[in-house]
Amino acid sequence: MGKEIPADFFLTKLNEAKVHFERALDCKHTDFDDLYPYMIEHPQFFWYKRYVAWSELLTVVKLCKELDVEWEQQFSQQQVEYMNKRVMSSKVLDYWFETNDTKEHVG
């Protein structure tokens, strides 16, 4: 059918989705800002931006699971639990970084 896609491709996409989500959590610039510059004026913008980034992250995680690509090692145990629950709750927004070993936000 098509050519084989190496597992590191998905791990790269997973890392990009993670960084995108973390930048959205930190209210930092993402590609979404470039797509919808007028949205910054609306109060729901940051919630929507986070939702889009969360959806992207869950989509890549779902693909990794379906293809048996090991993805969990890039996240803390608590973050893995959040993603397995799939719901972006206030707990995810408030404590995503609290469980990181480095406790550093993306730059």
What are the tens digits of pLDDT across the range 9-63?
Answer: 999 999 999 999 999 998 888 887 787 777 777 778 888 889 999 999 999 999 9
Whether the predicted pLDDT of 101 surpasses 90: no
* Alpha-carbon span 96 to 25, nearest angstrom: 9
- In the structure, what pLDDT confidence band is assigned to residue 106 with cuts at 50, 70 and 90? low
Backbone CA torsion sign across 74, 79, 85, 86: negative
Name the residue among 20, 18, 24 with its Cα closest to residue 46. 24
